[in-house]
Amino acid sequence: MNGNIQPTTDKAYDFTDLFERLSHSDFRSRFRLNIADIEYIRKKGMDTIRRHAEDFVRKRLAPAVIPNDGRQTPMHGHPVFIAQHATACCCRGCFAKWHHIPAGRELTQEEQNYAVAVLMEWIRKQLLHPTSHS
């Protein structure tokens, strides 16, 4: 499988510092894709997973006001949900703390693209190194 995982086609973001900081969080670093998540990704393909990530970010992270902010992202059930918790893209409070993008206003399209890129990079790293802490 490792030979088939290509880098994302996102804008050239450098997530080195972000993933290093996340690796020092006991909470964030405990998230991993399980076998069912990996099989789901294999079945659906990375393009479909990206579309799911874009949809989840647009509906659950991008709005200026999220009535259940902090509780809108399930802890399991989809690989993107796992990635959201692992990368602090799960709610606006975590997103502001870890990514320095303030809550209280709608995310721009560029900020949404950034969040999707973070999620897809984490998923890609998990597929390449399932036991990794990245």
Q: What per-residue confidence (pLDDT) applies to 2?
A: 37
Handedness of CA 59, 62, 66, 68 (dihedral sign): positive
Pairwise CA distance, residues 53 & 27, whole Å: 21
Q: What per-residue confidence (pLDDT) applies to 5?
A: 42
Q: What per-residue confidence (pLDDT) applies to 11?
A: 67
pLDDT averaged per 10 residues in sequence order, the chain, 134 residues: 43 90 96 96 97 97 90 90 98 96 96 98 92 51
Residue spans per domain, the chain: 10-128
